Structure 1
């Protein structure tokens, strides 16, 4: 899940300084689950903007905001609301906000900060779990990511700086490699940790990346 958190009211007002009529868009998936971009949060945002003297022309929770074709279609249903608007405030993740911007000819401003790909520990508590590195390492680490969980991104064991099983970079975090060792020991797979790994190939995470399944399927059929 893409984890986001609300921007400060001061920053939002700085974005909207030259705009009086605002439309708001959210997202039914990640942003709603994170309690930043669902209908409840949008209505709270609407009330606050109106208190600040802004006019909210309309709002919509997109389903989801990151689907360009569906977002374009959904925003067409807001034709009148967008016609009167000076700007759109998006409380979807950065991807959803960029998708909205592609579908309209209005300035689109982010209402949230996109933090990381992570898991929900419980409502309101999230933990980063994946950096989308392009070459997943979980198959030999007991499904504990050394790229994300290790502050140094090490792939050949610990740095040696851990104390009381805590990371020397951030003492609030468990040492990823101690976690990996204990998990692999529990699974009876410690032998997998004896192989020396090649340095991480970050070419696979060069930005921006694209995946075209249609082309891949076409090439597979032709082969």
Structure 2
């Protein structure tokens, strides 16, 4: 499971680069469990965007946005709404945003959420999309291709000097240059201006560490005692502590 949190509305509006017609996507998997991508949250986001004067051409919540096959099938009835939209705004984790962008390669796809780092490894994944849970998702600036995972060096503001013929200098036999992929897709979308004059990406690597509050929840470790559990509010972990006063006294 990847845990996500909603980006502030101000950040979303700035990220959209002036695009006013949007198609919204939500995820009934991890994002719904995180309280960011279910139907309720997508409709709340829709209302907030419309209050700001933006037009929502359509919306859909799919079971899993990390499955490209499900995305293709689930969006097939929404061709008109997607065509009318200038961009797609996805309430999902970083893998979901990348999967959507891989399916809708001609459309700009923006993340409505940041993926919260949990630490550790959570099993195998059959798709090629990867998310480092950096807590600062900027996939909207890189055509839905994450340079932290597509580039072997994790460079966030352009390629190194070692790439040749579109191949990574580290593993040229098996890996394309991540920034070559980003360049090609931005060119396909007519958004190369982001590389010429777009805002530089400043990565806050402290956000890649699991939040302290998370370490006291069952999302961090299943053996965490329920009475110590805390979850986050919109800007921190949502308090759901069920502490026993007698146990608190005993601990002291």
| TM bucket, shorter chain | 0.5 to 0.7
d(CA) in 2 for partners of 1:45 and 1:72? 23
Superposition misfits of 4+ residues, deviation over 4 angstroms:
170-174
1:64 match: secondary structure: coil
Query: Taking structure 2 as the reference length, what is the TM-score of the superposition?
Result: 0.48
Flag the structure with higher strand content. Answer: 1
Correspondence list, 1:32-181, <5 A:
32-104=32-104, 105-116=106-117, 128=118, 130-132=119-121
d(CA) in 2 for partners of 1:31 and 1:37? 5
d(CA) in 2 for partners of 1:27 and 1:13? 21
Query: Taking structure 1 as the reference length, what is the TM-score of the superposition?
Result: 0.53
1:171 Cα deviation from its structure 2 partner:
11
Aligned length: 129
1:131 match: secondary structure: coil
d(CA) in 2 for partners of 1:15 and 1:57? 19
Name the residue aligned to 1:156.
none
1:114 match: secondary structure: strand
Q: Considering only CA atoms, is the larger Rg found in Structure 1 or Structure 2?
A: 1
- CA 1:12–1:173: 2 relative to 1, 3 Å: closer
Can you list the C-alpha shifts for 1:159-195, whole angstroms capped at 9, x where unaligned? Answer: xxxxxxxxxxx79968xxxxxxxxxxxxxxxxxxxxx
- CA 1:66–1:59: 2 relative to 1, 3 Å: same
Q: In 2, are the aligned partners of 1:63 and 1:71 still within 8 Å (CA)? A: no
d(CA) in 2 for partners of 1:70 and 1:172? 31
- CA 1:132–1:20: 2 relative to 1, 3 Å: same
Name the residue aligned to 2:4.
4
Q: Structure 1: any 5+ residue segments left out of the alignment?
A: 117-127, 136-169, 175-223
d(CA) in 1 for partners of 2:98 and 2:214? 34
Q: Structure 2: any 5+ residue segments left out of the alignment?
A: 125-211, 217-252
